Structure 1
Amino acid sequence: MGTFSVEQLKEIATGLDKSGQRFLWVVSVPGNVNDPKRLLEIPCEPDLDALLPEGFLERTKDRGLVVKSWVPQVDVLNHQATGAFVTHCGWNSTMEGIMAGIPMLCWPLYAEQKMNKIVMTEDMGVGVEMEGYRAGFIKAEEVEAKLRLVMESKEGRELQARVVARKKEAEAALEIGGSSYAAFFQFLLDAENLGEELAH
């Protein structure tokens, strides 16, 4: 369900190409959520030459890397060369992006991701919306524009500062005595008390 159509992959590639930005892009085999048989197939490696615009890999070989299927996301997010993260806004990815202090380009697909996008863009200010996701298709011009905004503009620098501030808040919450630490400790106490009540 989290894969893109061939047409969408070509738009992403065109936007990346025109943006001039360095990138790491993980490409999976396109899926078809309307075909139940397709969902049961064993995933295979994508044929990048068939999926991406002609000449894309050659044109971008000195500033981009296209990887088939998977990368260790946390390691990539915490690498000093990473400047932005295009995310589907799943909760784990959102937390990983914040803990890495990386601005996020929000492209929700389904489930809680659309609600998370609102929290990320409107409440926390750690991401920008990829316009077009509601219609199920984001154009190359939007990919290019949002990459340039985050990587090159004053607004992007302000976004970066907000994400770094949220990262520091998250780190403080995890320290002994922090809000997350205290909440987890309370959870353990409640679980222990419930266990004792059930035992009696």
Structure 2
Amino acid sequence: MEKETKVTELPHIVFLTSPGMGHLIPFAELATRLACHHGFSATFLTFTNFSSPRQSNFLATLHPNISTVYLPFIPLDDIPNNAHLVTILGTLFTRSVPHVRDALVSLKQRTRLAAFVPDLFGSNLLPVAKELSVPHYIFFSCNCMVLLFFFHFPSLHTTTTCEYRDLPEPFHLPGCLPLPGKDFIEPVMDRKSDTYSWTLQVMRGHTSAQGILVNSFETLEPGASKALQNEEEKHPPIYLVGPLIRSGLDEADELGCVEWLDQQPNCSVLFVSFGSGGTLSMKQTTELAFGLEASGHRFLWVVRCPNDSDKSATYFNVESPDDPQNYLPESFVNRNKNKGMVVPSWAPQVKVLSHKATGGFLSHCGWNSTLESVGHGVPLIAWPLYAEQRMNALMLVDGAGIAVRPVALEDGVVERGEVARIVCELMDGERGKVARCKVKELQEAGISALSPEGPSHLALTKVANQWKVAIN
């Protein structure tokens, strides 16, 4: 069912994103730039299965030339309750093929349809657009290093048999740091799983795109971006169009995070948040709490109910029927009320990162959060949880030099003493000072990249012009 029908003579783009705000937000920024600066209208295809009031409200606030079509409900009741996120998404996209085809046929009749652009999980839908003679691109909302991994991993798959954590040598991607097997993207860590098969299928599907837009910029990833540009004959053309981040103007702040930050000294608060999907175990939640307290630094912590089996437990629903504060150490909130603020489940992240009191960000290293931190000049503590986040952390710490990373035990838990040490290192230490200087430089470079003569703006202009030519 359509939220809004908009028949227009403007060139029209159809976007298809995975469920979850983390995927939707960069797409919304891309659609808005195309509408505001390049004269396009757009339609978002979204999955009824995972629609939420927060998503619907967010879509309703977009540019008036951006509308939404909700795809029919897709049965998934045959998938086990404990199925991996990638298995759920892979099944969802595969079963959506007839519905996406119907939507594209309808929109092609009613609009000047210029392109179909799914996210990285939608590569298996590109043949549908090709069948309908619709230009088909991918918007890759991760970084260049991960995209290079997508291109080169299938050959590693065919030439090795061991689990990747057991590789004797790091994997060498062109233009990137050596990548140890233990830091590969999480869905490929078990070769015998359904998740592995789905991920390999998604990777291979990227070669059928006519072009790939990447939410990154050259100065942030100089080696990887150059490698992608030098490999044009081996994969589709690449267009770096980032950093596309939200403004935060529409973020609600019902719990008064900004008001609390207003009362803190400049650059004194560590923001602690694990994105829209990340969760910690009970043990790790306890260790983090005591570590923050022991550090002596101010903090604003977005707390979620712990989950001992799934680090992405809140991916499809960030809200919890239980109060996450019930899982914190006894009297923790009261003991730290003068230097810490604890908020359940969600905070206005962009408003927090842009506030002058925020001096650091303890993050799961999701790419949206990373770009938002760079966009506001805030250095990071890298605390990856799932997906490609370990790879991101490697790049941020050892490549860009804008993050520090705690040392975990063999079971993955970061003990309270290490938490306190790494917090002090970022907020007071020499490595923190270096990271702060570097992230300020990247902040300026990101602004420059999106300026009228910047490389990211010019890259998007090039793609937009190609789409316009295709319908004329």
Q: What TM-score comes out, normalization by structure 1 length?
A: 0.88
Shift, 1:39, TM fit: 9.1
Counterpart of 2:468 (choices 177, 192, 196) is: 192
Does residue 25 in structure 1 map to residue 301 in structure 2? yes
Query: Contact between 2:303 and 2:324, CA under 8 Å: does it hold in 1?
Result: no
Counterpart of 2:452 (choices 172, 176, 185) is: 176
Query: What does 1:158-177 correspond to in 2, within 5 Å?
Result: 158-177=434-453
Counterpart of 1:120 (choices 396, 413, 421) is: 396
Partner of 1:90: 366
Q: Which amino acid aligns with 1:69?
A: S
Query: Contact between 1:130 and 1:142, CA under 8 Å: does it hold in 2?
Result: yes
Partner of 1:11: 287
Partner of 2:381: 105
Shift, 1:32, TM fit: 4.3
Per-residue CA distance 1:134-169 (angstroms, 9 max, x = gap): 843211112111110011122211111111011011
Partner of 1:53: 329
Q: 1:117 to 1:133 in 2, by over 3 A?
A: farther
Per-residue CA distance 1:9-38 (angstroms, 9 max, x = gap): 11000000100000000101122446xx99
Partner of 1:44: 321
Shift, 1:130, TM fit: 2.5
Per residue, is there more helix in 1 or in 2?
A: 1
* Higher gyration radius (CA): 2
- Distance (Å, rounded) in 2 between the aligned partners of 1:93 and 1:39: 15
Shift, 1:102, TM fit: 0.3
Does residue 143 in structure 1 map to residue 419 in structure 2? yes
Q: 1:168 to 1:38 in 2, by over 3 A?
A: closer
Per-residue CA distance 1:59-89 (angstroms, 9 max, x = gap): 2110000001100100000011100001111
Give SS of 1:66's match.
strand
Q: Which amino acid aligns with 2:283?
A: E
Partner of 1:66: 342
Give SS of 2:301's match.
strand
**What is the number of residues matched between the two proteins?**
193
- Distance (Å, rounded) in 1 between the aligned partners of 2:389 and 2:409: 11
Seq. identity, %: 36
Q: Which amino acid aligns with 1:23?
A: F
- Distance (Å, rounded) in 1 between the aligned partners of 2:283 and 2:466: 51
Shift, 1:45, TM fit: 3.7
Does residue 132 in structure 1 map to residue 398 in structure 2? no
- Distance (Å, rounded) in 2 between the aligned partners of 1:172 and 1:39: 33
Q: Which amino acid aligns with 2:415?
A: K
Shift, 1:192, TM fit: 2.7
Shift, 1:55, TM fit: 2.5
Which shifted more, 66-75 or 110-119?
110-119
Query: Contact between 1:32 and 1:38, CA under 8 Å: does it hold in 2?
Result: no
- Distance (Å, rounded) in 1 between the aligned partners of 2:440 and 2:404: 15
- Distance (Å, rounded) in 2 between the aligned partners of 1:144 and 1:117: 19
What is the alpha-carbon root mean square deviation over aligned residues?
2.3
Partner of 2:428: 152
- Distance (Å, rounded) in 1 between the aligned partners of 2:385 and 2:316: 20
- Distance (Å, rounded) in 2 between the aligned partners of 1:53 and 1:195: 61
Q: 1:177 to 1:135 in 2, by over 3 A?
A: farther
